[in-house]
Structure 1
Amino acid sequence: MKRRRLLKRAAGVGATVTLLLAALTSCSGAASGKAPSITAPEVFYLRPVGDKSGPRDKDPFHFSADDGKTHTGVRGPADHTLTVDVLPGAKSAVALREGGTCTGSSTHVTCEVRSDYDSRSDGGVSLVAAKGSKPGDAAVVRYTYADRSGKKVTARTKAVVGEPVVEVLTAKSLGGVRPGAELSRPIVVRNTGEVPVRGLVLKIGLEQMEFEKRYANCRYPSFYKGHITVCEFPDLRIAPGQTVTIQPALRLRAPRTKMYASFSSEARPLDMGPENGGAMAGGDHGDGPALRPESTTAEKGTYAKGGGWTNVVLDTHADYSVSDVNLYGDPGTKRTFKLTVRNNGLADAGATEQLVFSPPLGMEMVKQPMQEYDEDSYEPSCENGAFVYTCDIKALEPGETQTFTFTMRLGDPGEGTLTLRDKKPTQDWYVGDRDPDPSNDKAVITVHPDD
Structure 2
Amino acid sequence: MVVLVLGVPAGLLGCSALSGTSRPELDVPFVFYVSRGPEGDPESRFGIREQSGEQGSGRYTVAFDATDLRGVAVLKTGQDDCPVRLPTFRCGGELVDRRHGGSGQSFRVSPADGAEAGDSAVLRYRLTSPGLPSVTASTRIVIGKPALAVETRADRVGVTPGGRVAVSLTLRNTGDVPARGVSLFISTRDGLRMAGKHRNCRYRGTTSAWCRLPADDVVIPPGASYHLAAPEAFTLADDATYPTVTFEAAGLGADYVPPEETASQYASGQGSALRYLPGAGQDDGKDAGAPHATGESAAHLQLAVRSTSDLVALAGTARGPVGSRADVRVGVRNDGPGALPAKVRVEFTVPAGTTVVSSPYDPERDEEVIDQVCRALAADGSPLAEASVRQPSARRYVCTAQAGKAGATTTFPFTLRIDKETAHRGGRVTVADGDSHHPSNDPKTANDSADVAVSVWPGPAWATPGLWATAGIALGVFVLVGALATWRRRRAR
Cα distance in structure 2, aligned partners of 1:335 and 1:322: 20
Cα distance in structure 2, aligned partners of 1:342 and 1:153: 62
1:53 aligns with 2:53: no
SS at match of 2:137: strand
In structure 1, the partner of 2:192 is 209
In structure 2, the partner of 1:96 is 75
1:82, CA displacement in angstroms?
Answer: 4.3
Q: For 1:215-234, what aligned pairs fall within 5 Å after superposition?
A: 215-221=198-204, 225-234=205-214
In structure 2, the partner of 1:420 is 431
SS at match of 2:446: helix
1:63, CA displacement in angstroms?
Answer: 1.1
Letter in 1 for 2:429: L
In structure 1, the partner of 2:486 is none
Q: For 1:272-311, what aligned pairs fall within 5 Å after superposition?
A: 272=254, 275-278=257-260, 279-281=262-264, 283-297=266-280, 303-311=294-302
Distance 1:331 1:126, change over 3 A: same
Cα distance in structure 1, aligned partners of 2:334 and 2:249: 39
Worse-matched range after superposition: 63-72 or 235-244: 63-72
SS at match of 2:258: helix
1:169, CA displacement in angstroms?
Answer: 0.9
Cα distance in structure 1, aligned partners of 2:210 and 2:310: 38
- Structure 1, unpaired ranges of 5+: 1-18
Distance 1:433 1:340, change over 3 A: same
In structure 2, the partner of 1:322 is 313
Cα distance in structure 1, aligned partners of 2:415 and 2:7: 66
In structure 2, the partner of 1:12 is none
Distance 1:125 1:146, change over 3 A: farther
In structure 2, the partner of 1:13 is none
1:145, CA displacement in angstroms?
Answer: 4.4
1:439 aligns with 2:450: no
1:151-175, Cα deviation, whole Å (9 max, x unpaired): 9654322111122212211469x97
Is residue 309–residue 440 contact of structure 2 (8 Å, CA) maintained in 1?
yes
1:132 aligns with 2:139: no
Letter in 1 for 2:272: P
Q: For 1:7-406, what aligned pairs fall within 5 Å after superposition?
A: 21=2, 26=6, 39-48=27-36, 50-53=37-40, 60-65=45-50, 71=56, 82-88=62-68, 91-99=70-78, 100-103=80-83, 105-111=85-91, 113-116=92-95, 123-145=105-127, 153-170=135-152, 176-207=158-189, 208-221=191-204, 225-234=205-214, 235=216, 236-272=218-254, 275-278=257-260, 279-281=262-264, 283-297=266-280, 303-322=294-313, 325-327=316-318, 329-339=320-330, 341-365=332-356, 368=359, 382-384=374-376, 385=391, 387=394, 388-406=396-414
Cα distance in structure 1, aligned partners of 2:83 and 2:169: 48
1:332, CA displacement in angstroms?
Answer: 0.7
Distance 1:424 1:286, change over 3 A: closer
Cα distance in structure 1, aligned partners of 2:265 and 2:320: 64
Cα distance in structure 1, aligned partners of 2:119 and 2:415: 73
Worse-matched range after superposition: 315-324 or 272-281: 272-281
Cα distance in structure 1, aligned partners of 2:40 and 2:193: 36
Letter in 2 for 1:62: G
Calculate the TM-score normalised by the size of structure 1.
Answer: 0.75
Question: Which has the greater radius of gyration?
Answer: 2
Is residue 39–residue 64 contact of structure 1 (8 Å, CA) maintained in 2?
no
SS at match of 2:229: strand
Is residue 215–residue 290 contact of structure 1 (8 Å, CA) maintained in 2?
yes
Distance 1:59 1:264, change over 3 A: farther
In terms of fraction of residues, the more strand-rich structure is 1
Letter in 2 for 1:310: L
Is residue 66–residue 115 contact of structure 1 (8 Å, CA) maintained in 2?
no
Aligned length: 408
Worse-matched range after superposition: 210-219 or 156-165: 210-219
1:70, CA displacement in angstroms?
Answer: 5.3
Cα distance in structure 2, aligned partners of 1:177 and 1:151: 60
- Structure 2, unpaired ranges of 5+: 16-20, 284-291, 366-370, 377-390, 459-493
Is residue 67–residue 115 contact of structure 1 (8 Å, CA) maintained in 2?
no
Is residue 38–residue 66 contact of structure 1 (8 Å, CA) maintained in 2?
no
1:123, CA displacement in angstroms?
Answer: 4.5
In structure 1, the partner of 2:380 is none
Letter in 1 for 2:430: T
In structure 2, the partner of 1:11 is none
Cα distance in structure 2, aligned partners of 1:39 and 1:290: 28
Q: 1:408 aligns with which of 404, 413, 416?
A: 416
Cα distance in structure 2, aligned partners of 1:110 and 1:399: 64
Letter in 1 for 2:49: S
Cα distance in structure 1, aligned partners of 2:270 and 2:254: 28
Cα distance in structure 1, aligned partners of 2:122 and 2:328: 73
1:245, CA displacement in angstroms?
Answer: 0.8
Is residue 333–residue 409 contact of structure 1 (8 Å, CA) maintained in 2?
yes
1:144-197, Cα deviation, whole Å (9 max, x unpaired): 44558999654322111122212211469x974432332111111121222221
Letter in 2 for 1:263: V
Distance 1:254 1:334, change over 3 A: same
In terms of fraction of residues, the more helix-rich structure is 2
Cα distance in structure 2, aligned partners of 1:322 and 1:95: 65
Computed over aligned residues only, the root mean square deviation of the Cα atoms, in angstroms, reads 4.1
In structure 2, the partner of 1:4 is none
1:324, CA displacement in angstroms?
Answer: 5.6
1:250, CA displacement in angstroms?
Answer: 0.8
Cα distance in structure 1, aligned partners of 2:136 and 2:197: 43
1:344, CA displacement in angstroms?
Answer: 2.6
Worse-matched range after superposition: 273-282 or 289-298: 273-282
Is residue 45–residue 108 contact of structure 2 (8 Å, CA) maintained in 1?
no
SS at match of 1:131: coil
Worse-matched range after superposition: 351-360 or 79-88: 79-88
Calculate the TM-score normalised by the size of structure 2.
Answer: 0.69
1:267, CA displacement in angstroms?
Answer: 1.6
Q: How much identity, in percent, do the aligned residues show?
A: 25
Structure possessing the higher relative contact order (Cα contacts under 8 Å, 6 or more residues apart): 1
